[in-house]
Chains A and B, each alone.
Chain A
Amino acid sequence: MTTVTTQIKLTPEHSARPGVSMRSRLQDALPKIVLAPSFAITVVFVYGFILWTVYLSFTNSKTFPSYSLTGPRAYQRLWRWTFESDPPSSWYTSIINMGIFGFLYIFICLALGLFLAILLDQKIRGEGMLRPIYLYPMALSFIVTGVAWKWFLDPGLGLEQTLHQWGWTTFHFDWIKNKDFVIYTVVIAGVWQASGFIMAMFLAGLRGIDGEIMKAAQIDGATTFQLYRRIVIPLLRPIFLSAFIVLAHLAIKSYDLVVALTSGGPGGSAWLPSNFMYEYTFKRNEMAVGSASAVIMLMTITAIIVPYLYSELRERPR
C-alpha cells in the first residue's frame, strides 16, 4: 500500500460533553450508523456463513443439510480418498490438478509477465497499441475464454486441423480430449487471460525505478543481463509479492474456466477443488463432503492472504 496515512484525530471536538443535544449526539454516531449495515452484512454473510459451512462439514448432510454433528467423517473420507483409494478418487485428481495448475499458472504468468514488461520497457514505438492487446483478455469472462480456447484447441476444428491443411499432417495435439493432459489446456487458457495483467503490474513497477541507479550501474560496467538480474529484479520484489497473491487466489478460485473449456474433462479429469465442491454439493448430494472441501480451499487461501493483509494493514511506524 502506497498511500500515506495522514491521521488527524477528528473526535476530540465531537466527544460527548455534558449538555450536548440529541441532535449532535446523533451526528457523532452517524458515521458508525452508516458503516454498520455493511459491516453487519459482512459479519453475517461472510463470517457467519463460513462458520455454517464449517459446521456442515462435521455433519452427515447429504441432499439436505442435517444439523446433528457426526465428527470429522467428511474429512476422513477426503483423507482416505487422497491416500488410500485405488484407482485415485476425484478428490485426489482435484488436488493434484490444483498443484499442477497452480504452480504452472503462477510461474508462467510471472515469467511471461516480467519478460513482456521488460521488452515493452525498451522505448518501444507503438507501446500504446501493444499494451491493450496484451491486456484485453482480462476483460473477458472465463466462460468466453473457455469457449474461445475450446474451439482453438479442438483437434478436429482448431489448431491441429489448420496445421494439417497447411501441410504439417503429422502434427498431433489433442490435449483437450486427453485425460492426462487436459489440465495443461486449462493452464494455457488461464495464462492467456491473466499474463497481460501481470505484465502491466511489472511495467508499472519498472517505470517506478529510479533511472539514476541504472545509470550508475551502467557506468560501473554492468552488462544488461547483470543489470536486470542484480538490480532491477530485486527492486521489483514487492510487485512479485502482489502478483503472486493475485495469481494464487485466482488459481484457487478458478472454477468457470474448467467448466467452459473442458466441461470437467474426460471423467472429471480436469477438476479443480472448486469443481469438486460444486459437483459434490449440488449434483452428487454429498453436502458434508462438499463443505469439507470448501473449508480446505478456504484454509489454503487464508494461509496465503492473512499474513499478507496483516503486513499491509499494520500501522506503519511514522
Chain B
Amino acid sequence: MSVIATPARQSAGGISARTVNRIVIYGLLALFALFYLMPLFVMLVTSFKTMDEIQNGNMLALPQAPTFEPWLKAWGETCVGLTCAGIKGYFWNSIKMVVPAVLISTLLGALNGYVLTKWRFRGHTLVFGLMLFACFIPFQSVLLPMATILGSLGRFGVTLRNATGFSFGLGNPTVNLVFVHVVYGLGFTTLFFRNYYEAFPTELVKAAQVDGASFFQIFRRIMLPNSMPIFVVTVIYQFTNIWNDFLFASAYAGTGDAMPMTVALNNVVNTSTGVVEYNVNMAAAMIAALPTLLVYVVAGRYFVRGLMAGAVKG
C-alpha cells in the first residue's frame, strides 16, 4: 500500500506538489543511507591508510596511497594482550567454536521442533514455553553457576588426563563455549523449527505413519527434504549470534590463547601500550565483521527472515 504516491496527474505548469514531495522523500532516504553507511565507510577507508595520513588527513577522505599493510599487520603481527602474533589464531578459534555449536544446536532444534508439532503430548505447550523463555533471560542470571560448573569440569578434566592421558575436551575453553552456545541457543533453534513445522501438513506425517514409517524415517524422508529454507535461516541466525557473542566468550575464554575473535578485537583496540595504530585496529574490526557481513550479503533474505522469526513470533 502506498498513499503519498497516488497517480494523480498534476498540472504541467511549474513544479507540482508531487515532485516536491518525491524530492523530499528521496532526500531523506539518501540522508539516512549515509547515516547507516558512514561508520562502515570510515572503518574501511581508515584501514587502508597509513598512520601519517590518519593523523594529518580527513577521516572521510579516501586513502591517497592505499596500503594493505594494516590488514596484514592485524592478521599476523598485532598485539593481543602480551602476545604479538596477530588475530589470525583467534579468528580460527571462533571458527572452531562456531561450526560445531551451530550444527549441533540446529540439528537438535530440528528434532525438537518435529516432536513439538507432529508428536504432541500433554503439556507440549508448557515444554515449549519453558524452552522459549530461555531465549530471553539475561545471561547474567546463569553466568556464575555456569562458570562454577565449567571450572569443576575443568578440574575433573585434569584428573582424567593424569589418569588416562586424555581429558575428553573437559576444561578446553573452545569445547566449553560450544557447549554453552548449544545450551543457550536451543530455545531459538527449537522456536524456528517448531513454527516452521507447525505449518507443515500433518496429514503427510499421518499417512506415512499408516504406511508403517518410523519416527526417524518420517523425519529423514519427509521432514528434512522439506526443511531447507528453515535450515538456512537457523544456521545463519545461530552463526551470526555465536560469532558475535562477547559475554560468554569473555567470561569463559576471556584470557589466553583460546579467546574468540570478539574478545581478541576488544583487547587489540584497548591495548594501551605504545602508539595506538588506528588503521590496524580498524582492519582488525573489519576482519571480525567480515564473516557475518559476507553471510548477510550472500543470504540477506534469510538473515532477515531469521531475525523476524525470532522477533515476531517469540
Query: Residues of A with Cβ closer than 8 Å to B?
Result: 1-8, 10-11, 13, 27, 30-32, 34-35, 37-39, 41-43, 45-50, 52-53, 56, 65, 116, 119-124, 130, 132-145, 147-152, 157-159, 161-162, 165, 192, 196-197, 200-201, 204, 206-207, 209-211, 214, 218, 224, 227-228, 232, 239, 242-243, 245-246, 249, 252-253, 255-256, 259-260, 263, 274, 277-278, 281-282, 287, 290-291, 293-295, 297-298, 301, 305-306, 309-310, 312-313, 315
Instruction: Report B's interface with A, CB cutoff 8 A.
Output: 1-6, 25-26, 28-29, 32-33, 35-40, 42-43, 46, 54, 58-60, 108, 111-112, 115-116, 118-121, 125, 127-134, 136-146, 148, 183-184, 186-187, 190, 195, 198-199, 201-203, 205-206, 209, 214-216, 240, 243-247, 251, 262, 265-266, 269-270, 278, 281-282, 285, 288-289, 292-293, 295-296, 300, 303-304, 307-308, 311-314
Give the distance in Å from the alpha carbon of A29 to the alpha carbon of B184 in the complex. 26
Given contacts A42-B130, A135-B304, A297-B141, contact A151 B246 (CB under 8 A): no
Query: Do A214 and B1 touch (CB < 8 A)?
Result: yes
Q: How far is the CA of A294 from the CA of B25 in the complex (A)?
A: 45
B59 touching A162, Cβ below 8 Å: yes
A-B contact count (CB 8 A): 299
Q: How far is the CB of B104 from chain A (nearest CB, A)?
A: 11
A239 to B133, CA, bound (A): 20
| B196 nearest CB across to chain A (Å) | 9
* B-chain residues with CB within 8 Å of residue A124 when the two chains form the complex: 25-26, 29
The 10 closest A-B pairs by CB, nearest first: A141-B244, A31-B119, A256-B246, A139-B296, A49-B142, A148-B39, A49-B145, A52-B145, A294-B140, A298-B141
27 sampled A-B residue pairs with Cβ under 8 A: A4-B199, A7-B202, A50-B142, A120-B29, A122-B2, A122-B4, A124-B29, A132-B296, A132-B300, A141-B288, A143-B244, A151-B281, A152-B42, A152-B59, A162-B60, A192-B39, A211-B1, A214-B3, A232-B3, A246-B311, A249-B136, A259-B246, A274-B247, A293-B140, A298-B140, A305-B136, A310-B129
Asked if A121 and B304 make an inter-chain contact with CB atoms under 8 angstroms apart, the answer reads no
Q: Is the CB of A218 within 8 A of B115?
A: no
